[in-house]
Structure formats: C-alpha cells, structure tokens
Amino acid sequence: MEEVISKNATNYKELLRNYMESQDEQALYGVEKVSKAFIKNNILPEEIVNLHIQAMAEVCNDLTEDYKNSMNFLLEAMIFYGLAMQEIPLLREEKHILQSEISVAASMQKTLLGTNKPEINGMDIGVISVPAHQMNGDYHHFVKGKDGSLGIAIADVIGKGIPAALCMSMIKYSMDSYPEESMSPKSILKNLNRVVERNVDPSMFITMCYAHYQPQESKLSFSSAGHEPGYYYNAETDTFKEFETRGLVLGVSPDTEYKEYEMTINKDDMVILLTDGVTECRDGDRFIESQEVLDIIKKYSDLPAQEMVENVYKHFERLQDFQLRDDFTLMVLRKNS
Amino acid sequence: MNLTVNVVEENEKSILNVVGEIDAYTAPKLKETLLPLTRAEGKIIEVNLENVNYMDSTGLGVFISALKSTKESNSKLMLVNLQERVLRIFEITGLDEIMDIKAAIRGGNE
Amino acid sequence: MEPQSCVNIHKEWDIVGARQLGREMAKRLGFGTVDQARIATAVSELARNIYLYAEKGQICFEFIDNIEHRGLCMTAVDTGPGISDISQAMQDGYTTSGGLGAGLPGVRRLMDEFDIHSEIGNGTRIKAIKWVR
C-alpha cells in the first residue's frame, strides 16, 4: 500500500512537471489514472493537496509566499472532505446490513402472509402481487369454506415498505381469528375496521375489498372499504363494468357500517380485483387511464387466468421502465363452467 | 416533484394554498404545516387544492389525521377546488362522505 | 521535560485560541502539515462541543515523549450536563448529513487514540492522542 502511494506520488510529480512545461493533454489523462489509483487506495483529499504542495516545490523554484500560503489554506479546507470520505465504506456496510435484514423480513412476510390459490370447481383464478420495494403493502388472501364457497380478500395499506407490511400482518391475524365461512363480507369489514381503528396511527389506514363466492348459486357477494373499485366482465355483452361500491376505508371511524352487494356470475364472466398500484401506473409523466388497464386485460383474456395476470403485469412493468412506483396486485376470477 | 404550502390568515379562517404533488416524499411537508393549524381551538382551515394534480394515499393519510385532530379541537377542515383526479381518490375511499369537500368548477360531490 | 498548557473555553473566540495552541504544539513535535491540520480540526471539534453543550471547560495539551512514543495528547474537560448516551454520540457516518459537524466520531478518526468518560450532571472528559509517525 505504502508502495502504491509513493509510486503514484512520483508519477504525480512527473506528470505535473510535464504539464507545467507543455500543458499536454496526455499529462492530464495520466493524472486521471493516478487519481483513480488514489481513490482505490483511500487516499484523502488533504493528502493529495499536500502531495501537490511538495511536488510544486520541486518542480518550480520560484514559488511565491502567497502561493504557498494559499495552498496551506486549501489543505485546511480539505480536512472535512477527508472525514466525509472516510465514512463512505462504513455507510456502504451499514446499507448492506440493512438490506440483508430487510430481505430476511421480506421472506418472513411471505411465509406469514402466504396464501394458497385454492382449486374451486368451475372457477379459474389468477393472481399476481409484486411489491415496489422489498416489502409488500398489498395483501390478498383466499379462504376455502367447507361448503365449497370461496372467501377472497384484497387490501392495500397506505404507503409502502416496512410500516405497511407490519400493518398487514395485523390484518391477516385478525382475519384468521374470524370464523370466516359464517360471516358476510360486510361484517368482516366491520370487524376489521374496529381492529384497525384501535391499533394504528391516525394517519394510517387500509383499503380492502372482501368478496364471497358461492359456486352452487354462482353468486358473488362483496363489500368494499374504500378500495380501488374492481371490474366485472360480462361475456355475453363483451363489456367491462366498474363496481360501484361505496364504503369508508378501514381505520378512520370506529362505527362504520358497510354495504354489501350481490351479483350472479355466468359462464366466461370475469371478476377483476386490483390495487391502486395497477390503476395509478405512470407512463413517464402521464397517468394511464383505467380504460388502458381494461384494454390490456382484454388483450390477454384468451389465456388462462394466471397467465393473463402475469402478462398484464409484464406490460405495466415495461411501461414503467421496470421501476414500480407502488405495490401491484391484480386478481382475475373467471367462471369457466 | 415539489410541493409548496403557504398559509394565509383571514379572520377566523386559515387558508392553505397547496401547489404540486402530494406523495410519500412531499406529504410530511403538508403534515408539518397543516396539523398545527388543526390543533387551534374553533378555527376553520380551508385547504385549496386547485393546483394539486396528483395525490396518493399518503396524502389522504395526512387529511385523515387532520380531520381527527379538528374534531378534538372543535375546528373545521374544508378541502376546496379539488381536481377530478384528486376528487376521485376521496370518492373511492368514502372520505368524501365524512369530510367537507368541494370540487373544482365542474360539478361537486353533492 | 513534558510541557503542558491549557486553554479555557468559554466564548466562541476561544475555539480559535485552542486551535492555534494545538497547532503550535503539533508543529514543535514535528508533525507534518497534514497532521497539523488534522490536529487543529480535532481541537476545534472538542472546543466547539464544550462551547455549545457545556458552556465552560478547558482543553489541555501535553507532549508524550519517551523511548517508545512521541505524540501529542489533548484532554478536553467540561463541567457541563454530560452525555447520556455515549454510543449515540459516537455513532459514525453523519459528517455528510450536515448540522452536527464531524462531532466525536470525527475526532476519533482524526486522532490515533480516543477515550471518553461522561457522567450525567458532572460533565465530560475526553482524551485523544496523535502519534508522530
């Protein structure tokens, strides 16, 4: 190391001499390489200024006192830059530690909040949920009842990252404690609202859509707590319709009641549930219109539901230059018999 | 994207003019200015969102905590001149039913 | 012979006096220009800590000169409120974040040896040494 420094110091002196004589571009290219070597060896700016002072004293013999004083002044001004530079490796290491801690948390979250896509007779289900960063603030959950019915939850916590993810665990465990099969979407939301209202910071809230599907009657009932509206695709008329659900977000007002909606689903109809990470995609500075989402869904609607959501995701991932701004969750339920 | 917030005091009313985008990065700035105002007893706080073309859920969070805070201090929070895109977020989340909100020119939420 | 001298820190101006004394002593010991500047900066940080948080204190310099070592030892003593969480005060990595300056971690980095004792209500004593290379 010392050798590297003294070799480069000699080099610096020679290059400086050349440059003083001829203002040669080659000397400048040379000093660029020397400076890279200095950085690689963690040579601090004040040491370089000092090296320059010494080199100048050898190269020129008619240096003025003014010049020498000014260089000492410059050296003094470099001390804090040197201190700041020495922090870089430390900060880099800290960042690395944090990153690995978060990735452990993220995989733990996956295990904790994991849900299996159930097999439901006559229903093709596709779902994709991708976090913008490592931790996901979106959540979805399937429960298959003993009577063959299916409970579906899709939720989004305000914000993203770790606070959102922590909050989601709370939702998941409250839901686990309910006898879900016996509860209607509106009473599940009513209960969750109370849990959230009591347990989170006033600026925190959660949006959720809860749906319950009964295959025997092809009946879907659902309630929304301020969640991004989903869509119903009517195969017969080949049209999409936005769900006109009303309902306050979870966690704002303790005694909120939720409305429940009901509909019958026919063969090849689709129910599309999503989070605002889908509808608020941006293409550069432009926000996409909801029609664009539907067009893309339509484009891939010949595929099985899982391939469909994956292709829609890929489309918007590309549109946003592979940098998601928000967590992205998309779910498609298609009745296939 | 930047956010600027300035406050104009008008008798019993504080008017907050907000300009820019309200997202996770800029929301703390709005919160810093808005929340102290809501703690004052019996005041009207009017937030002018005419020049806000984007707001995400973090922004909603700020307004929800402001609303809760005004209830404790008997103050009143009003949001005015919301652009369509911002208004839609209040409608989806059902907050338009518990907050005093007036849209910009075209139609209201009534 | 081990000369020792001290500077009282009470006003901001005293920081300059402390820097100057530190630099002169460093020069006399034969430190190079870069190390002189580093020592002066470390003195500055210690003196400013006293000025900002303790109001009153003293920085003393001492030559260390024996067969094994040659170096400058500085001791900053104040009777201020003391530091309640030394680990936090020593937390590194914030020079670049502005506001707090390099603080104690900076001093530790500028010098070769560093030691701190602090008692709530009784004040703080920091000792730092730089060896002549």
A196 CB neighbour count, 10 Å cutoff: 24
In chain B, residues 51-90 whose CB comes closer than 8 Å to chain A: 54, 56-58, 60-62, 64-65, 68-69, 85
pLDDT tens across A68-79, in order? 999 999 999 999
What does the alpha-carbon distance between residue B1 and residue C37 come to, in Å, rounded to a whole number?
42
pTM of the predicted structure, to 2 decimals: 0.70
Higher pLDDT, B25 or C110: C110
Inter-chain CB proximity A90 and C110 less than 8 Å = no
Starting at the edge strand found earlier in the chain, the sheet holding A231-234 runs: A123-130, A328-335, A270-274, A231-234, A239-242
| Nearest Cα to Cα of residue A334 among A268, A274, A236 | A268
Q: Hey, which bits of A158-247 come out as E strands?
A: 206-214, 219-225, 231-234, 239-242
Cβ of C33 and A84 within 8 Å?
A: no
**C-alpha of A273 from chain center:** 20
Beta bridge partners, A101, equal none
Classified as helix, coil or strand, C69 is coil
Write the residue in A50, A76, A86 that is nearest to C109 by C-beta: A86
Neighbouring chains of A at 3+ CB pairs within 8 Å? B, C
Q: In the prediction, which pLDDT does C99 show?
A: 46
CATH architecture of the region A115-335? 4-Layer Sandwich (3.60)
**CATH code 1.10.150.120 for C4-131:** no
Provide the residue ranges of all domains of chain A, joining segments of one domain with +.
2-91, 115-335
Residue C35's φ and ψ, nearest 5 degrees, are -65, -35
pLDDT, tens digit, 9 for 90 and up, residues A266-286: 999 999 999 888 877 677 767
pLDDT means per 10 residues, chain C with 133 residues, are: 78 94 94 95 93 90 90 94 83 58 83 93 94 92
Tell me what pLDDT residue B108 has.
44
Residue C111, both tokens: 């010098």
Which one-letter DSSP state was computed for residue C51?
A: I
Q: What is the pLDDT of residue C29?
A: 93
ipTM of the complex: 0.85
In Å, how far is A75's CA from the nearest CA of chain C? 7
Instruction: Answer yes or no: is pLDDT of B44 > 70.
Output: yes
Question: C109 versus A160: which is more confidently predicted?
Answer: C109
Whole-number percent of chain B with pLDDT over 70: 94
Whether A142 contacts A152, CB under 8 Å:
yes
pLDDT higher for C129 or A147? C129
- Per-residue pLDDT for A49 more than 90? yes
Q: Residue range A281-306: average pLDDT?
A: 84
A76–C37: do the CB atoms touch at under 8 Å? yes
Question: Which chain A residues contact residue B97 at CB under 8 A?
Answer: 246, 248
Please state the domain extents for chain B. Answer: 3-103
Q: Is the pLDDT of residue B46 over 90?
A: yes
A208-266: pLDDT as tens digits = 999 999 988 999 999 999 999 999 999 999 999 999 899 999 998 888 999 999 999 99
Nearest to A202 among B58, B65, B97 (CB): B65
The CATH architecture annotation of domain A2-91 reads Orthogonal Bundle (1.10)
Residue of B nearest to A209 (CA): B93
HEC sequence for chain B: CCEEEEEEEECCEEEEEEEEEECCCCHHHHHHHHHHHHHCCCCEEEEEEEEEEEECHHHHHHHHHHHHHHHHHCCEEEEEEECHHHHHHHHHCCHHHCCEEEECCCCCCC
State whether C34 and A46 contact (CB < 8 Å).
Answer: yes
Provide CATH code, domain B3-103. 3.30.750.24
Nearest to C28 by CA among C73, C54, C63: C63
A133-155: average pLDDT: 87
Beta carbons of A127 and A334 less than 8 angstroms apart: no
